[in-house]
Amino acid sequence: MRPLQREIRQLRTWYDLGVAGRGRTTVGVSGMTPEDLGSFIGDFLDAGTPAHPRPDLPLATLFRFAVEDLKSYYFEAVTAQPGRQAVDSTVLADWFWRETAAGRVLFAVHDACQRSDVPGIQVVANNFLIPRARTAESPYAMA
């Protein structure tokens, strides 16, 4: 099991508790389960172009939705944990981009997307994948 999928599985209980407590979730625009998100996004590294589970959307659009769902899943899971309910967005972003497998995978996927010939994928990677303020933190950035 890939580290991203293991991490998603570890956060599942917290995510479910958060959804139950809030009575709603922002995860779902992609139409994929959190577990499917990890596979789909990870396949951009392994296969270059993953299977396309939603032919009603361009692959680049689905990719963008999947990344947003993944980030939301992580934030909703971590804010359900004791002592984390009132954490500010900077602390959440630092945690996500510096301490999670998801953050590391998204940095790597960003790099992989630069070589992709999938229409629109480079635009999504460059404009929606990683916040501009975080790009210098990439372990793949040129020094």
Asked, for residue 143, whether it belongs to a domain, the answer is: no
Q: Quote the number of domains for the chain.
A: 1
Asked, for residue 45, whether it belongs to a domain, the answer is: yes
Q: How does pLDDT run along the chain (143 residues), one tens digit per residue?
A: 589 999 999 999 999 999 999 999 999 999 999 999 999 998 888 767 888 899 999 999 999 999 999 999 999 999 998 877 677 888 888 899 999 999 999 999 998 998 888 899 999 999 988 887 676 565 554 33
Asked, for residue 14, whether it belongs to a domain, the answer is: yes
Range of the domain at 101: 3-137
Asked, for residue 113, whether it belongs to a domain, the answer is: yes
Beta-sheet strands, E only, within 50-108: none
SS3 state at 38: helix
Contacts of the segment 100-104: beta carbons below 8 A, 24+ positions apart: 100/7, 100/74, 101/2, 101/3, 101/4, 101/6, 101/7, 102/4, 102/7, 102/8, 102/70, 102/71, 102/74, 104/3, 104/139
pTM, two decimal places = 0.89
